[in-house]
Amino acid sequence: GNCIRTLRAHTGWVSCVSYCASLERIVSGSWDSSIRVWDSERGIEISAFPTAAGNSKYCLDWNVNAGVVVTGCRNHDVQLWDLSRAQLIQVFSGHDSVIQSVWNDDSSRHLVSGSEDKCLKVWDPSTHDSCCTLKGHTSAVMGVQSDGDYRIVSCSYDKTIKVWDLRMATSTNEYSDIWSRWSGTSSTNRIRNGCIGSLEAHSEAVFCVQFDEEKIFSGSADKSAKIFQF
């Protein structure tokens, strides 16, 4: 297709975008540390969020229903912004490295972040605190998604996709029938800090992942996209 709009204002790499067709708006984040809101039909900038220099934005997730944007930052923080006011609402601190992936529950009950510190964190916006830290990846966590309840799927530079169950986040001896169906085994030692399954089908880093009730979809540096059946 043909390019119909070019949106210019960022002064660094544009690292993340999110689009809402019903509002005709685009939100973008950049290595220039800024977050900008655009009119997709007119191709003009609507607003720019006031952000500190040197704190590049690596990822974002726009919760349209709640009117908030979550960003993952170079300074190891997760930020929650009010879109209509272009105002920073909350900052979540606890990771030890750059945030590479974020996800925001539609109901804003919790946020999930993945970092180069190899961990995922689940955050409670009502308390500003981390509810849970999920450890299991051996390299940067590049993608995360939650079902808004207890299941989280993540992907990593370590070439794996992991499935987590928050109900088992402190369990080391419970058995998951999800892992059983995938692997054909019933080994109890598969669960580590809530991890109920690890898929190792890619030969290079896995950069993105999504899932629904039946399937997981992934994209990798090995030049392939894969679909897994729950």
pLDDT in tens, 160-188: 999 999 888 754 333 334 334 434 444 33
CA distance to 109, 130, 203, per residue, from 149 (Å): 9, 16, 30
Residue 145 has pLDDT above 60, yes or no: yes
pTM metric for this prediction: 0.86
C-alpha to C-alpha distance for 172 and 61, rounded to whole angstroms: 32
pLDDT at residue 164 in the model: 95
pLDDT digits over 7-60, tens only?
999 999 999 999 999 999 999 999 999 999 999 999 999 999 988 889 999 999
Residue 192 has pLDDT above 60, yes or no: no
pLDDT at residue 67 in the model: 93
What is the residue whose two structure tokens read 């689940």?
122
C-alpha to C-alpha distance for 135 and 221, rounded to whole angstroms: 23
Q: Tell me the average pLDDT across 193-214.
A: 94
